[in-house]
Amino acid sequence: MPVKVEHVTHTYMQDSPFESTAIRDISLEIEDGEFVGLIGHTGSGKSTLIQHLNGLLKPTSGTIIVNGLAIVRKSKDLKQLRQQVGLVFQYPEHQLFEETVYQDIAFGPKNLGLSQQEIDFRVHEAIELVGLSFEDVRDRSPFEISGGQRAE
């Protein structure tokens, strides 16, 4: 899935006394099959840039094209994009959790409007894909599994 970022700038709280530009004039291309690491100091704009790739943030200026879909300031329907680009935050334990591991993983597929059978399949597949036992973790609270299991 190719990604093209063209002259992207993101300013938080634009036109207010608290205006702050987090990223300025960023351009990059990621081709199919490439793996890219994004490194930098705290506050350098890494998270701000990443949140643009599935439309959680929209650029103040510039364009982002992910698999042919343009993310611009006035983009409204980003459902198709979010079906293709997921985002796991640095500290997922700070996100809101469902009551069970199963429900937590099923959150995304349910929001895609998938059938219960497809949701069951995807949750089972995801748990097994990261090397955990579906039977062992599906009914446990996300807070009851170890940090290593959460990171897997």
The predicted-structure confidence for 10-33, as pLDDT tens digits, reads as follows 999 998 999 999 999 999 999 988
Q: Locate the domains of the chain by residue range.
A: 3-87, 93-151
Rounded distance between C-alpha atoms, residue 18 and residue 49, angstroms? 20
Contact between 29 and 5 under an 8 Å Cβ cutoff? The reply is yes
Rounded distance between C-alpha atoms, residue 57 and residue 48, angstroms? 7
Sign, CA torsion 59/62/65/71: positive
- Residue 148 — pLDDT band, cuts 50, 70, 90? low
Is the domain 3-87 a CATH 3.40.30.10 member?
no
Whole-structure pTM over 0.75, yes or no? no
Give 81-136 pLDDT, tens digit per residue: 767 776 766 666 556 567 888 998 998 888 788 899 999 999 999 999 988 899 99
